[in-house]
Amino acid sequence: MSVLNSFSLEGKVALVTGGAYGIGFAIAEAYAQAGAKIAFNCRGQEHLNKALEDYAAKGIDAKGYICDVTDEEQVKNMVASIKEDLGVIDILVNNAGIIKRIPMTEMSAEEFRQVIDIDLNAPFIVSKAVLPGMIEKGHGKIINICSMMSELGRETVSAYAAAKGGLKMLTKNICAEYGEYNIQCNGIGPGYIATPQTAPLREIQPDGSRHPFDQFIVAKTPAARWGTPEDLMGPAIFLASDASDFVNGQILYVDGGILAYIGKQPK
């Protein structure tokens, strides 16, 4: 096999949770370009229909499923349906997630649990559902979308940071437990990515200046810019392909260097 061929995903079946938009959609698009068959989930029909239209506009024949990834029974049914429609899942990207920016002393336990449920319990549930098929096949790739908050804390994101820190360790444990079956589990830790969800943080202010948070992120990032969903495509293909068969239990931070940088000295 040539080196370039080792990056091919031709014929592979990939499930990208929360793959309807943003980072998940970009990763699914990259996988489709690399030859994979794409499956994704949404929680409602209207959302699903819009996502299918967006995939079709890109020329991608994706299969969408209504599924709440925090519900173990629904996940089992989705995985069974994907097997029937496309084949056994070769690649799982645990991308679905939420964030609630609330000071810890103002956050209810129920709000904390909701973030943990979607950002940490769901990756456990979906990974558990796909692992038997991967073991039977003799190979598999699980990619968890972690975060810089897997390493750092920040005000108002206690639940998110706790979940993403836990997801980092779940990644390492899946590697430890199932590496002998030729299953690789790694994570991607995006930096600050320019998506519709972060657009309000990049709006030009009435006086023509940049949003304070925008200025803060650009100053803290050696690349001096926000990332784009396209910046995640290459790393995601690498971790899903045969090229990464001896890479396991690692978190690849795609952050423009922000975690390596202490920041500029004040003038």
Pair of tokens at residue 27:
């990763």
Contact criterion met (CB below 8 Å) for 221 and 209: no
CA distance 137 to 33: 23
List of residues 6+ apart from 123 with CB closer than 8 A: 94, 144, 167, 170
Helix (H, G, I), strand (E, B) or coil at 254: strand
**Size (the chain), residues:** 267
Pair of tokens at residue 97:
């997630």
Whether 31 is a known active-site residue: answer no
Which one, of 22, 132, 118, 13, lies nearest residue 69 by Cα? 118
CA distance 64 to 51: 8
CA distance 45 to 64: 10
Angle of CA points 48, 191, 178, to nearest 5° = 70
Among residues 31, 55, 65, 160, the one annotated as catalytic is 160
- Residues forming the active site: 160
